[in-house]
C-alpha cells in the first residue's frame, strides 16, 4: 500500500502497478484501460508517493509476474548489479535529482545504463517536466555501427522510407533516389512492404542492395517484413542487411506479433552469419509504440508508457543498430492529441536513451487524431534538441502506403540547419563525393545528368 496526503485528503494506492499508472501523465489509452488517475489532484498525490519509492523496490515488486512473462524474466535475470550500485541507494525522486545534476554526465550515464530497469526509467520520467526529459536525454551517448556510424554527438540520421501502396519497384526507386538527393538515408533505407509475398520481398532486397552497391553508399537497407519472412529470405540467399521486427513490452503482446525472444535470437544470429556490416555488427532494427500492449489486451493492468519502456528491455538485449518509437501511429484511442503525442515522444526518447538504446522517432500522427503538422514540428524540434538518434524521411511527409503523416526530407533539412546537425560521417563524405552536398554539407543544385537521376531513368551512369 502506498499513500500521500494532498489538500487534506489522503490518497491510497494498492500496489506499485496502480501507483505507476496513477502517476502517469494523462493520455487516452490509460483512460481506455481504466488505470488512469481520476483527477489531477490524484495524479499529483501518486507522484508524491512515487517519489519516495526506493529504486530497489522495482527489483522486488514486479509489475508483471516473473512466472508468467519472459520479458520480466529478461529484465530481472539480465540486471547488472555492479552498474546499478552507484544509484542503488536512491529513491525515484532522488534519481530524478541525480539525473539532472552535473554528476550524471555522459560517461556516468553510460556506466549505469545496464543497471537501470525499464520500470525505473518509466517511474522517474513520470516525475519529470518536458525540459527535464530533454536535458537528461541530451547527455546520453549511444553509438551503433553497420556500414556507417550512427548516434555521434551533434549528428542526426534519417531513415529514408520510400513506401509504395502497390510495392511498385519503379515508384519505390523514385522515392528512394529523391531522398538520397535530399541527403536522407544515412540511418537506413527502409521499405514497409504492402505485401508479404516472398518473391516480391526478395526483389525489394535485391533492388535496395543493387543501388547501395552500385553507388557504394555507406548505409544499410531493410525490408520491414515479419522476422519469419526475413529468416526465409536469408535462407534463400537474399542480401539482407538488417532484421526488422515490431516488439512490445510483455510476452503476451509479443505473442500477438508472432514472436518471442528465442525467435529474435535466431534471426540475429542468422543476420550476423552473413557478415555484411563493414564497420560494425549491429544487425537488428526494432519499432515500438505506446498502446501496443493495450491494443492486444496484453498489458496486465500496467500503464501504456511503462509497457513501452519494457519493450526497450527486449531491444537492448539484441544490441540493435536502430530502434524507433512510432509515437502517434496507433491513433487517438491511445494518444488523443498533439499534447499527448509530444509528451509521449519525449518520454519514449528519454527512457530509451537512459537504457542505452539508439532511440529514434517516427514523429507522426494519424489523420483522425487531434493533431497537425505544427505539433509534429514542435516534437521534432524538441527531440532533435534532446539528441534524437534518427528520424523518418517520407516524400512530402505523407506516407501513401501506411496512410499517416510523418516527417519529410525537407523537415530533415530544416532541423539540420536550425541546430547545425550533421549526417553520419561516412555518409556525409559520400554526399560530398557524389556532388549532392558541398564541403559545408549544404545541398547543391542537382544537374539533369547526375548519375542517380540517370539510374532512375534506366540509363548507365
**DSSP-based three-state secondary structure for 316:** helix
What global pTM score does this model have?
0.96
Residue with cell 487524431: 369
Residue with cell 509515437: 327
Q: Who's near 454: CB < 8 A, 6+ residues apart? A: 460, 461
Q: What's 342-386 look like in SS3?
A: HHHHHHHHHHHHHCCCCEEEECCECCCCECCHHHHHHHHHHHHHC
Q: What is the DSSP letter of 442?
A: P
Print pLDDT tens along the chain (461 aa).
899 998 889 999 999 999 999 999 999 999 999 999 999 999 999 999 999 999 999 999 999 999 999 999 999 999 999 999 999 999 999 999 999 999 999 999 999 999 999 999 999 999 999 999 999 999 999 999 999 999 999 999 999 999 999 999 999 999 999 999 999 999 999 999 999 999 999 999 999 999 999 999 999 999 999 999 999 999 999 999 999 999 999 999 999 999 999 999 999 999 999 999 999 999 999 999 999 999 999 999 999 999 999 999 999 999 999 999 999 999 999 999 999 999 999 999 999 999 999 999 999 999 999 999 999 999 999 999 999 999 999 999 999 899 999 999 999 999 999 999 999 999 999 999 999 999 888 898 876 678 888 876 664 43
For the record, the C-alpha cell of 126 comes out as: 513520470
pLDDT in tens, 88-124: 999 999 999 999 999 999 999 999 999 999 999 999 9
Angle at 363 between CA 359 and CA 368, to 5 degrees: 140
Of 294, 393, 225, 383, give the one whose Cα is nearest residue 33: 294
pLDDT in tens, 377-415: 999 999 999 999 999 999 999 998 999 999 999 999 999
Amino acid at each position: 500500500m502506498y499513500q500521500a496526503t494532498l489538500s487534506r485528503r489522503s490518497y491510497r494506492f494498492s500496489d506499485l502497478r496502480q501507483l505507476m499508472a496513477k502517476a502517469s501523465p494523462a493520455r487516452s489509452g490509460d483512460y481506455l484501460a481504466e488505470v488512469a488517475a481520476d483527477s489531477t489532484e490524484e495524479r499529483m498525490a501518486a507522484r508524491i508517493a512515487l517519489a519516495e519509492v526506493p529504486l530497489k523496490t522495482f527489483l522486488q515488486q514486479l509489475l508483471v509476474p516473473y512466472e508468467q512473462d519472459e520479458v520480466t524474466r529478461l529484465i530481472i535475470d539480465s540486471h547488472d548489479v555492479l552498474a546499478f550500485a552507484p544509484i542503488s541507494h536512491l529513491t525515484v525522486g532522488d534519481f530524478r535529482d541525480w539525473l539532472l545534476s552535473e554528476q550524471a554526465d555522459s560517461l556516468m550515464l553510460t556506466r549505469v545504463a545496464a543497471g537501470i530497469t525499464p520500470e525505473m526509467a518509466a517511474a522517474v520520467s513520470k516525475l519529470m517536466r518536458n525540459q527535464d526529459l530533454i536535458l537528461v536525454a541530451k547527455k546520453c551517448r549511444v553509438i551503433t555501427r553497420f556500414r556507417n556510424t550512427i548516434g555521434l554527438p551533434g549528428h542526426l540520421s534519417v531513415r529514408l522510407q520510400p513506401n509504395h501502396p502497390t510495392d511498385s519497384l519503379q515508384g519505390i526507386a523514385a522515392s528512394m533516389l529523391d531522398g538520397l538527393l535530399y541527403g536522407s538515408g544515412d540511418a537506413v533505407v527502409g521499405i514497409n512492404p504492402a505485401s508479404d509475398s516472398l518473391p516480391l520481398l526478395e526483389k525489394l532486397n535485391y533492388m535496395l542492395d543493387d543501388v547501395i552497391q552500385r553507388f557504394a553508399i555507406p548505409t544499410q537497407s531493410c525490408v520491414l517484413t515479419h522476422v519469419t519472412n526475413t529468416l526465409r529470405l536469408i535462407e534463400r540467399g537474399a542480401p539482407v542487411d538488417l532484421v526488422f521486427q515490431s516488439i512490445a513490452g510483455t510476452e503476451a503482446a509479443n505473442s500477438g506479433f508472432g514472436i518471442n525472444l528465442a525467435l529474435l535470437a535466431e534471426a540475429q544470429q542468422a543476420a550476423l552469419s552473413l557478415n555484411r556490416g563493414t564497420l560494425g555488427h549491429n544487425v537488428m532494427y526494432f519499432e515500438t509504440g505506446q498502446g501496443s500492449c493495450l491494443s492486444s489486451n496484453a498489458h496486465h493492468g500496467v500503464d501504456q508508457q511503462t509497457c513501452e519502456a519494457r519493450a526497450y528491455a527486449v531491444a537492448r538485449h539484441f544490441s540493435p543498430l536502430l530502434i524507433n518509437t512510432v509515437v502517434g501511429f496507433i491513433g487517438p484511442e491511445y494518444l488523443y492529441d498533439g499534447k499527448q503525442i509530444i509528451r509521449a515522444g519525449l518520454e519514449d526518447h528519454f527512457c530509451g536513451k537512459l537504457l542505452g538504446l539508439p532511440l529514434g522517432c517516427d514523429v507522426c500522427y494519424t489523420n483522425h487524431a487531434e493533431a497537425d503538422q505544427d505539433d509534429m514540428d514542435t516534437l521534432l524540434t524538441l527531440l532533435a534538441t534532446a539528441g534524437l538518434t534518427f528520424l523518418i524521411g517520407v516524400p512530402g511527409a505523407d506516407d501513401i502506403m501506411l496512410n499517416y503523416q510523418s516527417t519529410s526530407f525537407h523537415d530533415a533539412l530544416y532541423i539540420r540547419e536550425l541546430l547545425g546537425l550533421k549526417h553520419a560521417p561516412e555518409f556525409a563524405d559520400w554526399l560530398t563525393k557524389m556532388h549532392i552536398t558541398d564541403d559545408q554539407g549544404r545541398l547543391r543544385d542537382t544537374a539533369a545528368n547526375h548519375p542517380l537521376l540517370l539510374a532512375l531513368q534506366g540509363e548507365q551512369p
